[in-house]
Every structure is written in C-alpha cells, then in structure tokens.
Amino acid sequence: MLDLGSGEMAFIPDMSVAIPASLVSDVPHLREKTSKIGMVGRSLAIFGIKEVIILADNPELDQHVEVQLIMSVLSYLETPQYLRKQLFRIMPELKYVGVLPPLRTPHHPLSNQAKELRNLEYREGVTLRSTRKGTLVDIGIERPVLITDKRLPFNRRITVKVKKSDDKLKATVADRNEISEYWGYKVSSPKLSFGQFLKKRRFDLVVATSKYGKAFLAMSEEMERRFGTAKNVLVAFGAPAKGLHEIVNQEDLNLENVADFIVNTVPGQKAHTVRTEEAVLITLGILNSTFAKG
C-alpha cells in the first residue's frame, strides 16, 4: 500500500480500473453524462487509482464518440485547474465541465503565489517557451519558472520540482515515480474489447464485479492474500445495460476464465441495478477499507 502522507492510504502502486465505453449510455443529456463521468473520476482520485481504462463493450456499435467523451472529461478533471485553459481547446464534449467536482488531490494545489511554495515542492506545469537559458514553465503562480537543465517542446505538460532559495525559484523536470504522494490517474483507451485487452496486457490480479459473483466477505480472505503479492491489479466494471458476463460472452469467453475473482460488493441489493459509477465508489471503498494497512 502507498502512504499518501496525510493519514490516507492507497492501493498498491499499479492499481487500474476498467470501465465500459457505454458508461453514459443510460443518460441522454451531455450535462448528466458529464456529471456521471465526474463521479467516476472523483472515486478514482479518492482511492488513489493510477490508471483508468475505457474499453469497448458493444461490438455492434462504433463507440468512438462515447470513448472520446469519457477520455476528455476524465483527462480534464485530472488536470490541475491552472493548466486547463492552456492544455484544452474549446471542445463540444467539455461544454458542461463546470458541474465537475474538484479532486483536491496533492497535484491540485490551492496555492497560487510564489511565496506560498515550499522548497522541493512538486508541481504540474505546462511549457511556455524556450529561451537561451532554458524553458519557461507555468506552474500556477504569478510568474513562470525557468528550467535550465533541458529545453522542452511548447505546450507540454510536465512535472517539476521547485527549488526555493529566499525569493529565487528554480525548477527541474521530475519523474512522477519519485513522488511519494498520489499524483493523479492516467486515462487510456486501447480500442480493444475486454477479452482482447486482457490477452494483450497482463495483470497479476483481475477482479471482475458482478451481481452474479460471490459475496465479497466470502472471498475476502483469499483476495487479501492475492492482493498482498500482486504488483498490478485490475478492477473491472460492467455497463448500464450489460454486466461483465454478457460483455465477455460477446467474445465467446467466460468471465470465470479471464478474471481471478468475480465479486459482488453489493449482496442483497434492493435496487434492480447498481449504476456503474455507484459500483466504482462502493467497490473501491470496500477494497480500500479491507486491504489498506494503516
């Protein structure tokens, strides 16, 4: 488990979540779609998920539009507020991003003045322009900082470490792997079905969620043992109209053959369906409270 430095705990370093491209197919209006995606993004941040993967789940449809919407909104939400105008052009799918909740993660700082920066603080930035001395980078304060160790392309998002001495600021390019705090999630869409994706990319542990799975408490002991040895874990969720069993059956696969655990985290549910965004929050909360070590 990864200590966030504030008493919070996160999962192992490579915890990924897979969600279906039809995540927002059950709501008609872009405003509600945006809100639903925002709920997923907020859950990812709360529990320190490192990657969210959007997978095709309906072979009869071209799901490019849905994938693009989910990727755009999740990427926008993960980007620090002070970088969004520079990194995102005006896009129809971002019309209602005003309804998105703030993430309030360590890489979304509230401070916007140089005097509030701490020495050796990490910040997300975007490159502005090159000079003879190096590259100027906007890190969300009154003036850009200069990176002298290398010149970088224009308008690229980077992570920097700020070195502060009196009123002078310097910055160097940082590797995210050196940061002990949670530093946001990556958004990807391999344009593959669930089964194809698992054949191409191997995980030490794959957890599928389903109302037809075994109750979590019946599997928690074995899952805890597997979580303790896994270096990368995938937790997958079904779509509004189809669960994971139905989704993989479209590929002539059995969910039992592609997932290590099929777990029901809402046994005895009284609503006929649990929405994907609800399942993400519930499942990650249960896994975190069970397996995180304080």
Q: pTM for the full model?
A: 0.92
How many Å apart are CA 266 and CA 273, to the nearest integer?
10
The number of CA neighbours under 13 Å toward the Cβ of 111 is: 13
Packing angle of the helix pair 276-291, 216-229 (nearest 10 deg): 60
Q: Hey, is 228 helix, strand or coil?
A: helix
Quote the DSSP letter at residue 153: -
Burial pattern 13-25, b for ≥16 Cβ within 10 A else e, equals: eebbbbbbbbbbb
Structural domains of the chain, ranges and CATH numbers in brackets? 2-105+182-291 (3.40.1280.10), 114-178 (2.40.50.140)
Residues with Cβ within 8 Å of 272's Cβ and at least 6 positions away in sequence, in order, are: none
How many Å apart are CA 238 and CA 288, to the nearest integer?
20
Output the CA–CA distances (angstroms, integers) from residue 94 to 72, 125, 140, 155, 158, in the order listed: 7, 21, 22, 20, 22
Output the CA–CA distances (angstroms, integers) from residue 281 to 79, 95, 278, 288, in the order listed: 21, 25, 5, 10
Contact 108, 83 (CB under 8 A): no
Give me the tens of pLDDT residue by residue for the chain, a chain 294 residues long. 344 444 455 556 589 999 999 999 999 999 999 999 999 999 999 999 999 999 999 999 999 999 999 999 999 999 999 999 999 999 999 999 999 999 999 999 999 999 999 999 999 999 999 888 899 999 999 999 999 877 888 999 999 999 988 778 889 999 988 999 999 999 999 989 999 999 999 999 999 999 999 999 999 999 999 998 899 999 999 999 899 999 999 999 999 999 999 999 998 888 888 899 999 999 999 999 888 765
The phi, psi pair for 252, rounded to 5°, reads: 60, 40
Output the CA–CA distances (angstroms, integers) from residue 242 to 25, 67, 202, 230, 278, in the order listed: 11, 17, 24, 29, 15
How many Å apart are CA 261 and CA 234, to the nearest integer?
11
How many Å apart are CA 41 and CA 33, to the nearest integer?
12
Structural tokens at position 139: 């890190």
How many Å apart are CA 197 and CA 129, to the nearest integer?
39
